[in-house]
Amino acid sequence: MDDIMNNTTIAKFFTLFMISVLTYEGFAQGPPTFATTGVPLPQKEQELQSFRFEGADIDTVMTQYCEWTGKTYLKTDAVQATITLKVDRLTTTESIQVVEAILAMNNIALVPMGDKFIKVVQAGAADLVGQGMEINLDPDFIIPNSDDFVTTIIPLQNVQIQEVQAAVQHILHTYGKILTLQRSNSIMITDTAANVNRARDLIEFIDQATAQIEQRIYKIDHADAVEIAAKIDEIITAAKGEENKPEPVGNPYARTPSGVIRANANPATPKAPTQASIANTEGGNAVLIQGDVKVLADERTNIIIIFSQAENFPFFEKIIEVLDVIVEPETIFEVINLEYAD
């Protein structure tokens, strides 16, 4: 009986000892880190691979993929695709990239889970981030171009979300997603790494500081500030009208010979384009006045306040200089006939 009790006690102590050792090793290893999707095993990185998928299912493709990467894939039966691919003499690294690309083309996303596992999900799933995809919060982090699915947040500095959202949507895949973060004026993009980088480049181009509106005050010494302000407004209206005036097509003054019906030089209905058109956002001609201008006059102090871009002020100052001059008072001669005096 004593021998049995001793053996039981020894077994309990041994069990507790093993649990403490395993727990210590787990803490020593630290928390798991996010892994990139396709990283080949070091000993296979430069090996040449030749393989063929003829109408292969996802399980066949992922089995080969995991053999190269040393990872285990997880998927549900709902994730299905038929893959056809022929590869001859590519390195293991290149083969992994090709498989990731063909999976992405078939709307299949690979979401890494730590260093050992990969989730295989539909790229159009609404919850790719919820599946465990890491979110990159560093706008300066360099994302290598690949067909790995990534999620990154891009803060906007000088423009609003609506100004970039439509432009970015055009370069994303159909399964790419944009989430607007209004409070931080940022957007979160989920797509392949290559497309996310394209979106970053486009946003960097759009998100540039525009010309700032300045105000300048002019003291009018000789003329009436209200009249000069009205004249400046008139010039601005005329300049804007010239910018919006359409260019005439053909010669509107050409004579029409007798018996000839001339086509309208400026038809109201444009001809349907035969190829994609390019939308111009800036006029081709030089613009006299840049941006919007606001002119205010204070009658009491006889000053003019102008709100505009800096490049417009030299033009306005020349106008004020020309108009704010001493003008000889108008002289009127009137003849009065005297009735009683000489």
The model carries a pTM of 0.50
d(CA 318, CA 295): 15
101 and 180 housed in the same domain: no
Q: What angle do the packed helices 225-244 and 313-323 form, to 10 degrees?
A: 130
Domain stop point among 185, 206, 227:
206
Structurally, the chain folds into a number of domains equal to 3
- Please report whether residue 268 resides in a domain: no
Could you tell me if 224 and 168 lie in one domain? no
CA angle 72, 75, 76 (to 5 degrees): 155
Using DSSP's 3-state secondary structure scheme, residue 154 falls into strand
- Structure tokens given for 333: 């001669």
Sequence-distant (≥ 6) Cβ neighbours of residue 228 within 8 angstroms: 220, 297, 304, 319, 320, 323, 324
Boundary residue ending a domain (206, 232, 267): 206
**Amino acid 83: pLDDT:** 93
Residue bearing tokens 């260093």: 115
**Residue 9: inside a domain:** no
Across 225-261, b (16+ Cβ under 10 Å) vs e yields: beebbebbeebbeeeeeeeeeeeeeeeeeeeeeeeee
Query: Are residue 145 and residue 168 in the same domain, yes or no?
Result: yes
**DSSP letter for each residue of 11-29:** HHHHHHHHHHHHHHHHHHH
Task: Specify if 276 maps to a domain.
Answer: no
Mark whether 102 and 148 lie in a shared domain.
Answer: no
- Domain enclosing residue 157, as ranges: 135-206
pLDDT at 242: 60
* Pair 236, 320 in one domain: yes
Please check whether residues 202 and 225 belong to one and the same domain. no
pLDDT for the residue numbered 260: 46
Do 330 and 225 fall into the same domain? yes
Q: How far apart are CA 220 and CA 296, in angstroms?
A: 13
Q: Walk along the chain (342 residues) in steps of 10 and give the mean pLDDT of each run.
A: 52 53 41 49 80 93 93 92 92 91 89 86 74 81 86 90 87 86 91 91 86 88 93 88 55 49 47 38 56 89 91 92 83 73 67
| CATH number of 177's domain | 3.30.1370.120
Whether 229 is in a domain gets the answer yes
Say whether both 79 and 156 belong to one domain: no
Same domain, 76 and 115: yes
Residue 130 falls inside a structural domain? no
